[in-house]
Amino acid sequence: MTDSKKFISAAILSGILTGIISSIPGVSTLNCCCLWFLLGGFWTSYLIWYKQNNITVWQGIGGGFFAGIITAFIYSILNTIVLAMSSGDKIAQMREVLEQSQQQIPPEMMDVFANLINSPLVAFLLFLVFGVLIFPIAMAIGGLVGALIFTKKSKIESNE
């Protein structure tokens, strides 16, 4: 396998796993300070390093960034499905909470929230925009940390 195929496969695998983990109800609540995304970027670096026995800082950052984009798509798809499968009671509760706080939320935002509750396409697009803005950056940081650690580990192993 060429280096680019190893790089891409590591980022895809990491992105899919991170997207799934961050979308599981209950598990996703443990995502304090983008923990899953930082770990996903770190794991991308590990996979690149493991397959090549070498990694550069730019490979770690790039792999994490690419994995973050994949994570955003997986996260958006799965969260849209979870939202669509939510019981009618949960959607009614969300609508009630939004209507009660209408004095504090502009009417335009109320329309956005109503569309989010009622339209899977709008929900998917909102999840995707949020994900594409946040996940690649967090995963690139995790990839950078991983690359720095594994680059040092490679240098230590080569000196022995």
Q: Give the model confidence (pLDDT) of 61-107 as tens digits.
A: 999 999 999 999 999 999 888 887 775 555 566 667 766 765 566 66
The pLDDT value given to residue 43: 95
Residues 6+ apart with CB under 8 A from 80: 120, 123, 124, 127
Which residues are within 8 A (CB) of 82 and not within 5 positions of it... i.e. 6 or more apart?
23, 25
- Contact between residue 41 and residue 140 where contact means Cβ atoms under 8 Å apart: yes
> What is the pTM for the complete model shown?
0.80
- Using one digit for the tens of pLDDT, what is the confidence trace for 7-48? 899 999 999 999 999 888 877 767 777 788 999 999 999 999
Identify the pLDDT of residue 9: 92
d(C-alpha 28, C-alpha 22), whole Å? 5
> ∠ at Cα 121 (118, 127), nearest 5°?
95
- Judged by average pLDDT, the poorest of 31-40, 116-125, 126-135 is 116-125
